Amino acid sequence: MEKILDIIDAIAHEKGLKPEQVQEALKTAFVQTAKRVINNKFAFEASINKATKTMNIVQTITVVADDDEKLQDENRAPAFISITDAREYDDQVELEDQLQIDHKLEDYGRTAASSLHREIEFHIQRLVEDEIFNKYKSKIGTLVSGRVTRVDDNNATYIEVDEIRAILPMKSRIKGEFFDIGDHIKAVVRRVNMDKENGIQIELSRTSPKFLEELLALEVPEIADGTVIVERSARIPGERAKIALISTHPQVDAVGATVGVKGVRINAVSQELIGENIDCIEYTSIPELFVSRAMSPAIISHVEIVKNAAGENEKAIITLPADQKSKAIGKSGINIRLASMLTGLNIELVENDSKTNEVTGEIEEAKDGVDALQALFS
């Protein structure tokens, strides 16, 4: 084939591939075509002559003795040639030499041309699919946006993202949201698969905590540049979320920067999440304090961390006043569930004995008064 290097450059430019990748794909296509139209048992190699810009196909055969048993084996015979036959090609050849015989696919007519065309298409398409697969595999957990092209009978939403169509299943859609064809939506890449029947399949999600984190990075420059880090996040999609933030700069308030002036930043994220309420707390590595903050807006009295047999934190026993219990639990248990998700601990609530506390407080107050009087007159 003439000017193969020009063809390689053209394909690489059109498909967005590296010329080296296209070159290897074309070599494979030529070898497979040679096997198909000449002999499937022959050992072929393809190489490019840069001076003439042509692809050379050679058959490699090992020279053996005329009575060698390999020549009698039907499966192995095509890879070997007797020394008598070999010397018809080269009278200087010796035993165990590698004899190379040139082949030109043009000599095999339309059959070879048609077969080569199919092989090139197949291998280039596989190359393109591999590139797309690796590209989106590296994007798992990151934000993408696209246009809705179809909504099927199962309410799965198909979205055109750059050069590929992704799917947003109903289970990964926030409760109560609906999309029409032509809508532009954001989501995170949740899963990327590839199989022979369906090709590349990209699944998106709008219910993942990672989606919340990516939206925050869009709205909060301090998160985008790493000054503020989202250490942990937990969501009950469409209802409420909690995020634990930490600042890497002593003069930056992690919570204040994320919320923004008059809540403008956090409200923008909440709006994208169909009104999902977002609680921002400051992260700490002290488990008792972290659990206490995670239970906000409830005010608690004491936290005890219980470890399992392996010495890992497993449960938090929270003591709190009776009037704070409903706040700690939240509507339909949402606050305590989110706190448990955020901290990774099972949470148990224990009420204070409020009457005992009141009496104890009065006794302590009276004792302090007596001590003060005695000090005054001593």
Q: Let me know if residue 320 belongs to a domain.
A: yes
Q: What is the pLDDT of residues 212-261, one digit of tens each?
A: 999 999 999 999 999 999 999 999 999 999 999 999 999 999 999 999 99
In whole angstroms, what is the distance from residue 349 CA to residue 337 CA? 12
Which tens digits make up the pLDDT trace of 26-43?
999 999 999 898 888 788
**Quick one: how far is CA 324 from the chain centroid?**
41
pLDDT at 341: 96
Kindly compute the dihedral angle of the four CA atoms of residues 79, 85, 91, 94, in this order, to the nearest 10 degrees: 50
Are residues 219 and 273 located together in one domain of the fold?
yes
Per the domain annotation, does 58 fall within a domain? yes
> The domain that contains 262 carries what CATH number?
3.30.300.20
318 lies in the same domain as 307: yes
Do 178 and 217 have their domain in common? no
Return the pLDDT at 255. Answer: 96
Last residue of a domain, one of 263, 283, 303: 283
Claim to verify: residue 227 and residue 275 sit in the same structural domain: yes
Tell me, yes or no, whether 307 and 351 share the same domain: yes
CATH of the domain at 116: 3.30.1480
Buried b (16+ CB within 10 A) or exposed e, 291-324: bbbbbbebebeebebeeeeeeeeeebbbebbeeb
Identify the domain boundary among 108, 135, 162: 135
Contact criterion met (CB below 8 Å) for 156 and 170: yes
Quick one: 124 and 10 in the same domain? yes
Q: Residue ranges of the chain with pLDDT lower than 50?
A: 1, 355-367, 369-370, 372-378
Tell me which of 205, 229, 250 is where a domain ends.
205
Check residue 252 and give its pLDDT. 95
**pLDDT value at position 109?**
87
**pLDDT, position 369:** 47
Domain co-membership, 245 together with 263: yes
Q: What is the CATH number of the domain that holds 151?
A: 2.40.50.140
- With a CB cutoff of 8 Å and minimum separation 6, the contacts of 341 are 234, 242
Say yes or no: 18 and 110 in one domain: yes
**Are 128 and 164 contained in the same domain?**
no
- Pair 129, 8 in one domain: yes
Q: Look at residue 38 in the predicted model and tell me its pLDDT.
A: 86
Kindly state whether residue 265 falls inside one of the protein's structural domains: yes
Are 33 and 73 within one domain? Answer: yes
Residue 289 domain-assigned? no
Q: Can you tell me the distance from the alpha carbon of 347 to that of 333, in angstroms, rounded to the nearest whole number?
A: 12
Task: Give the pLDDT score at 71.
Answer: 74
Is 240 a member of any domain? yes
Q: What's the pLDDT at 357?
A: 46
288 found inside a domain: no
- Number of compact structural domains in the chain: 4
In angstroms, the first-to-last Cα distance of the chain is 114
Is it true that the peptide bond before 297 is cis, omega within 30 degrees of 0? yes
User: Is 361 part of any domain?
Assistant: yes
**Residue 280: predicted pLDDT:** 96
Shared-domain flag, residues 92 and 29:
yes
Q: Which domain holds residue 100?
A: 4-135
Query: Residue 356: what are its φ and ψ, rounded to 5°?
Result: -60, -40
Does residue 290 belong to any structural domain of this protein? no
